[in-house]
Amino acid sequence: IKGRYDDKANIDVIMETGTGNTYVYTRLMYELHQNYGLFKFVLVVPTPAIKEGARNFIISDYARQLFSPFYENPRMEL
């Protein structure tokens, strides 16, 4: 991630474990897509287990139901 601050188009979501960061960055991705048309995102997580947990949440039926009141067709491809 060297040079990540050279371009001001980056957003870092840094939160403590267990504070809802998966929800926050998933909602942020939906918001950025809806408001600015962005559709490609890079998630950096510290372990493979967290990566798998984030992936499972993002593609889950629960997440789809959770975000459906706010966004039309809440579906993501990973």
CB 41 within 8 A of CB 27: no
Residue 15 to residue 26: CA distance in whole angstroms: 13
Domain boundaries, the chain: 1-78
This prediction has a pTM of 0.76
Residue 36 to residue 60: CA distance in whole angstroms: 24
Closest to 16 (Cα-Cα) out of 46, 42, 41: 46
pLDDT of residue 53: 92
Over the stretch 15-74, which tens digit does the pLDDT of each residue have? Answer: 888 888 889 999 999 998 888 888 888 888 889 999 999 999 998 999 989 999 998 877
